[in-house]
Amino acid sequence: MSPAPHTPGWARMLHGFVDGELDAAHVLECEAHLAICPECADSVAHLRAMRAMLQAAEPGFTAPLALRARVLADLAQDRRRPLPGLLRRLWNWSPVPLAAGLAACLMLLLAQPRGPDLADELVAGHVRSLLARHLTDIETSAAHTVKPWFIGRIDFAPPVVDLAARGFPLVGGRLDYIGGRAVAVLVYGRREHVINLFVWPELHGQEGAAAREGYSLTQWTQAGLAFWAVSDLNAVELREFREEFSAATPR
């Protein structure tokens, strides 16, 4: 049973909603409540503004030059000493700059965004698209129609190909919000199954596969973009989709 409007129960749930810590069912429950409750919608906007402010902050501590020189000199000496010698050095340092440095480290840790694992976010996005009947924003099997639809909506151009001849027909596309940014989603079919292919710019190459809650995931990077395919297909067919899509797009 869901909590009544404006109760502490909703306050706790909205915090989890903003932090991305809810499962797909509770996300849908929150979204439905926010659509009819202006007070909770204002609370969510306030929480998101606070989170953005904390993430944009750049806390830091600049050590005095004399302290920096002393630390570097001590570290150079302690490389030739056993661990107890280093501990004595740390104990003898002035407590004021040391405390300031520890406080700065704590602020940096607190300012880091926290949320679910990326693979869990992707599975939640996949499930949400099926439960909320929001599989596509644009429904068409024409790649030349889906590709220009993304122009002006995101800051990159995802490659769009129709793999119907390979057994993976294009269904359409939509936008989603994963890992703190807007991403493109290309939707493909495989018999009665759905494949959500999430795409966004990526600087560091990654490849691999995973599984979450009965869903298969496979990831790769190509032409400066990261690709994550999520489906309830078996891992072998999802890997086949990855190979077919990768072969049909620029490298």
Query: How far apart are alpha carbons 220 and 19 in whole angstroms?
Result: 26
- Cα 191 from Cα 30, distance rounded (Å): 32
Is residue 119 within 8 A of residue 230, CB to CB? The reply is no
Confidence band, pLDDT 50/70/90 cuts, at residue 77: low
pLDDT of residue 196: 94
Question: Residue 176: which of 245, 220, 228, 122 has the closest Cα?
Answer: 122
**182: helix, coil or strand?**
strand
Q: Which residue has the higher pLDDT, 246 or 21?
A: 246
Beta-carbon contacts of residue 81 (< 8 Å; ≥ 6 apart): none
pLDDT attached to residue 205: 56
33-53: pLDDT as tens digits: 888 888 888 888 888 888 777
Quote the DSSP letter at residue 151. B
On whether the pTM is more than 0.85, the answer is no
Region of poorest pLDDT, from 93-107, 155-169, 226-240: 93-107
Q: C-alpha angle with apex 24: 19 to 171, nearest 5 degrees?
A: 115
Could you give the CA distance from residue 159 to residue 227 in angstroms, rounded to a whole number? 10
Give the pLDDT confidence score for residue 225 in this predicted structure.
93
Q: Mean per-residue pLDDT for 163-191? A: 92
What is the pLDDT averaged over residues 83-92? 52
42-62 burial string, b = 16+ CB within 10 Å, else e? ebbeebeeeeeeeeeeeeeee
What is the structure's pLDDT at 42? 86
Spell out a b/e string for 165-179, using b for 16 or more CB atoms within 10 Å of the CB, else e: ebebebbbbbebebe
Using alpha carbons, select from 168, 162, 138 the residue that is nearest to residue 151.
138
Rounded to the nearest angstrom, the gap between the alpha carbon of residue 120 and the centroid of all alpha carbons in its chain is 9
SS3 114: coil
Say yes or no to pLDDT of 157 above 70.
Answer: yes
- For residue 114, the model assigns a pLDDT of 40
What sections of the chain are H helices per DSSP? 8-18, 24-34, 38-56, 65-78, 83-92, 95-111, 118-131, 143-149, 235-248
Q: At how many degrees (to 10) do helices 95-111 and 38-56 cross?
A: 140
Q: What domains are there in the chain, each with its CATH number?
A: 8-56 (no CATH), 65-111 (no CATH), 118-248 (3.30.200.100)
Ranges 40-44, 107-111, 149-153, 168-172: which has the least confidence: 107-111
The secondary structure of 19-49 as a DSSP string is TT-S-HHHHHHHHHHHTT-HHHHHHHHHHHH
Each residue's pLDDT tens digit, 215-250 = 899 999 998 999 999 999 999 999 999 999 999 998
Question: What Rg do the C-alpha atoms of the chain give, in angstroms?
Answer: 24
User: How many CA atoms does the CB half-sphere of 149 hold within 13 Å?
Assistant: 20
